[in-house]
Amino acid sequence: MGARTKTESRLRRKKRIMRRIRGTADRPRLSVFRTSRHIYAQIIDDGSGKTLVDASSLSLEIRERIAGRGGNKKGAVAVGELLAKRATERGIKKVVFDRNGFLYHGRIKVLADAAREKGLLF
């Protein structure tokens, strides 16, 4: 029971969260992952195991707007907006938010707020 690394702590939180969260066909799961340089988000139907929509700070539409700096809040806002836009085009309105063990703070919160503003419900 020694000291845990940040990654170990995040994975423990993720395991606890995933016991309760499941994406269905009518309410898929919005999963977020972040690194120090980029942020990624995808909407997943866990029943079929398929990714329905994705967006990341590496996407061409976003790269032009943020000039390759996806690891900040500006990049997170752009990813959230693009993901919500793509989701509404595919007819997805409601999702279950999966923060993937990351704390609901900073870039994760900004991405969620941007997606909500553009029409996703969670």
Token pair listed for 106:
């900073």
Dist CA 12 CA 6 (whole Å) = 10
List, for residues 48-88, the tens digit of each pLDDT value: 999 999 999 999 989 888 887 788 999 999 999 999 999 99
Is 40 a residue whose pLDDT tops 80? yes
Q: What is the pLDDT of residue 1?
A: 56
Q: Rounded to two decimals, what is the model's pTM?
A: 0.91
- List alpha helices for the chain, DSSP H: 6-18, 60-66, 73-89, 107-117
Looking at residue 26, what DSSP letter applies? S
Averaged over 10-33, what is the pLDDT? 93
Q: What is the pLDDT of residue 17?
A: 92
